[in-house]
Amino acid sequence: MSKIEKVSTFIENSRKEMVELQRLLCSVPALAPENGGDGEEEKAAVLKKWLQKNGFNDIQEIFIPDERVKSRRRPNLIATIPGETEGRVIWIMSHLDIVPPGEFSLWKNDPYTVVEENGRIYGRGVEDNQQGMVASIFAALSMMKNGIKPKSTVKLLFVADEETASDFGIKYLIREHDLFGPDDWFLIPDGGREDGTMLEVAEKNLLWVKFHTKGEQCHASMPELGNNAFTAASALVLGLNGLKDRFPQQNQIFDPPSSTFMPTKKEANVPNINTIPGDDVFYMDMRILPSVGAGTVLQEIDKICSTIAKTYGVQIDYDVIQRVESESTAEDALLVKAMQKVVKDVYGVNARPVGIGGGTVGAFLRNEGMDTVVWAKLDESAHMPNEYCILDNLVGDAKVMAHLVLEY
């Protein structure tokens, strides 16, 4: 048998063990403090113990201080599998944290107890991101148990804090630790399509903005005594809606191909019907093509706010809540070509590089000049009630990862 045949057979015969690792990880919720949890410490300890028991001898722990959790720290783990050659390291990065289950009444079973049914594994976190996590572990295990070395050194990186802001995960690791080399590759199995054809290589620039309109409160029966902040804010929403016409550029690598400018959250203003509000607050979510740039959009926002403020006699302030601008991985990068080959080998489909409107941790790596692909074969049940992972996808993704590190 060839090396690829040996590892593929091992992975195929490890279905039961994959389910059991999913069961173990699911039983230890890892929620960020922002989501009412105590971080990832317990889950990381359980994972480390399992890895050591199964032959992973080179495990590095990097703890990041966080006074909000009981342990006062957030864990990040790196498991290293030495390769035949030095130089490039292939990193496969998954995240330890999960999101809350939401309404328990919408779940058919306890969200923290894995249920296997009809080829699916149900439970909070089993797809996001334990499918990628378990797949990477068994890809590595398939080589270790067969005495096979990957071509390049492989590092499995299990990070904290992906579901909130990554301040205690990859952002900190990039800023404070010299872990990554300029020739390293990154595979992030945390996004994809149900047919496995999406190789995410680019993201739109993310801009979240909070708008505050300040007028003058008064009784609704005497509007001339005040200045309705809600009316002005409504006009501002309509004015900002014109951003889509101001920036009509398209790039077909993205879906949708144009920038998007969406009003979303609206804060309460006054508690009663017969008062004209003097303050009004709303938010916008903007996903902007890299060719346009967040700075250019903000300049246009300044003009719109100034016009509305003068027209309605109000004061308008805004705060940028989040701004993430991302470089892209070249569509013809060797990593992209390699992923296209191994996905074709395992799943028999033609994967293509695409850009997305959502944000991933890949943006932080690309901004450091790292070739990064976000890929997995997913049904995208993440964050939903009755989240599930398809077992065949878990097995197939492990084979893709094994093929990648054996060949490159």
The predicted structure's pLDDT at residue 10: 98
Q: Is residue 39 left, alpha or beta, with left meaning phi > 0 and alpha meaning psi from -120 to 50? A: left
Higher pLDDT, 228 or 165: 228
- Say which of 40, 41, 66, 97 is annotated catalytic: 97
Helices (DSSP H) in 218-368: which residue ranges?
229-241, 243-246, 294-312, 334-347, 362-366
**Mean pLDDT confidence for 304-330:** 95
Looking at residue 86, what is its pLDDT? 83
Q: In 159-182, which positions are buried (b, 16+ CB within 10 angstroms) versus exposed (e)?
A: bbbbbbebebbbbbbbeeeebbee
Domains located in the chain, CATH noted = 3-194+354-407 (3.40.630.10), 205-324 (3.30.70.360)
Q: Tokens standing for 399?
A: 């084979």
Read off the pLDDT of each residue in 284-310 and give the average, rounded to a whole number.
Answer: 96
Query: Percentage of the chain with pLDDT > 90?
Result: 95
Mean pLDDT of 34-49: 97
The mean pLDDT of 326-348, rounded to a whole number, is 96
What's the pTM? 0.86
The pLDDT of residue 54 is 97
Confidence of residue 326 (pLDDT cuts 50, 70, 90): confident
Mean pLDDT of 250-265: 94
Is 162 tagged catalytic? yes
Q: How confident is the model at residue 224 (pLDDT cuts 50, 70, 90)?
A: very high
> What is the structure's pLDDT at 1?
85
Show the CA angle centred on residue 85, arms to residues 84 and 89, nearest 5°: 105
Q: Please give the pLDDT value at position 226.
A: 95
Catalytic entry in 162, 190, 203, 279: 162
- 118 pLDDT higher than 90: yes
Average pLDDT of the segment spanning 132-155? 97
- pLDDT (0 to 100) of residue 359: 79
Tell me which of 255 and 106 has the higher pLDDT: 106
